[in-house]
Amino acid sequence: MYQIRRNRILRQSPAIRAMVAETILKPADFIAPLFITEGKGIREEIASMKDYYRMSIDNTLTEVKELWALGIKSVLLFIKCNDELKDNKGTEALNPDGLMQRSIKAIKDACPGMVVMTDVALDPFSIYGHDGIVEGNEIVNDPTVEVLALMSLSHAIAGADIVAPSDMMDGRIIAIREALEENSMSRTGIMAYSAKYASCFYGPFRDALDSAPGFGDKKTYQMDYANRREAIKETLMDVDEGADIVMVKPAMAYLDIIREVRDSVEVPVSAYHVSGEYAMIKAAAQMGWLDENKAVIESLTSIKRAGADLIATYYAKHAAKLING
């Protein structure tokens, strides 16, 4: 018997489309990255990230309260370290009174409900702009891991809810978990940048923090974008080592990886819609070549449909406003 299937029936009105939509974005899906700089009253636009700003702590607090009011539940902190404080070992990253530690405390005081996540890697603190300690031409793994564990502990003591190691050194997740446990910081979580690729799409971010590598590139620690199986290997190891949330980064060019990771683990998966992805939409919108609002919602919905439970995006506030109407 012939069965008539008319798929357009479920597309014929906004109401029916809303009823059968499989993926619905909400502000709580978003993690808002914040760039923090020293000083007071500072709000500097990042040249390659139009409408995105580096802010001093005071302005950051206003921003965090606005994000919270829009329904965003988490922020991811990055700090711009002054040049004179940079060295090879990330000494300033461990300063209990450093900009990161002060920012964490100020945000938790001003907006206690907000989940504060912190970037853990040496690049903003490194004279070489590398995520780890440099010896000769090498980024050395194990000495870096020791610093990353201490850095995570320092963020936890300052009040961070979740530390987010973005460095791609081997063995750092278990080292961080152990450091937290040994120091009674058992409530601090770890969001592991598990499948982080060596990507050109980080370019604008490195402008924002003045953290571009001074020599070479990051290909000896970040993953080769030719690889898919390796992403699963990295992710499974991070889960074994104690990651509470795993991440795929970047997002739009890596939707296949997001889906495969989502299908391979039982922890929440986040995806980082990175600076270059933001810049591409901004630039096209500025030229009048794309409708920015539509491009933002379509991009973020696609990342969620691919399997991301959480999305770190510079469009968090913009998208939350669009969603809230």
Which residue, among 70, 2, 63, has the nearest Cα to 33 in the 3D structure? 63
- Say whether residue 152 binds ligand PBG (CB under 6 A): no
Candidates 35, 125, 128, 205; binder of ligand PBG (CB under 6 A) is: 205
Residues 6+ apart with CB under 8 A from 147: 89, 90, 93, 94, 122, 133
| Residues identified as active-site | 196, 249
Residue 155 and residue 46: Cα distance in Å, rounded? 25
Binding residues with ligand PBG: total (CB under 6 A)? 12
Question: Quick count: other Cβ atoms within 10 Å of Cβ 169?
Answer: 23
H-state helical runs in the chain: 14-20, 57-69, 99-110, 141-158, 172-182, 203-209, 229-241, 255-264, 275-286, 292-306, 316-324
- Map the footprint of ligand PBG across residues 17-46, applying CB under 6 A: none
**Residue 131 lies near ligand PBG (rule: CB under 6 A):** yes
Dihedrals φ, ψ of 86, to 5°? Answer: -80, 145
Which span sits near ligand PBG by CB under 6 A: 102-110, 200-208, 238-246, 254-262? 200-208
Task: Tell me which residues in 41-80 interact with ligand PBG (CB under 6 A).
Answer: none
Q: How far is the CB of 299 from ligand PBG (least distance, A)?
A: 14
The three-class DSSP label of residue 55 is: strand
- Regarding 123 and contact with ligand PBG (CB under 6 A), the answer is yes
Minimal distance in Å, beta carbon 229 to ligand PBG? 22
Binding status of residue 300 toward ligand PBG by CB under 6 A: no
> Residue 118, interface with ligand PBG (CB under 6 A)?
no
Rule CB under 6 A: say whether 119 interacts with ligand PBG.
Answer: yes
Q: Which stretch binds ligand PBG (CB under 6 A): 65-73, 96-104, 119-127, 172-180?
A: 119-127
- Which residues make Cβ contacts (< 8 Å) with residue 24, sequence separation at least 6? none
Identify the residue among 48, 103, 118, 166 touching ligand PBG (CB under 6 A).
166
Among 31, 104, 274, 279, binds ligand PBG (CB under 6 A): 274
Distance CA 179, CA 185 (A): 8
Beta bridge partners of 313: 273
Least distance (Å) from ligand PBG to the CB of residue 280? 12
Q: Which two tokens stand for residue 156?
A: 């936890």
Block residue for tokens 């070992």: 89
The answer to whether 121 contacts ligand PBG (rule: CB under 6 A) is yes
Of 167 and 238, CB closest to ligand PBG: 167
| Residues binding ligand PBG (CB under 6 A) | 119, 121, 123, 131, 166-167, 202, 205-206, 218, 274-275
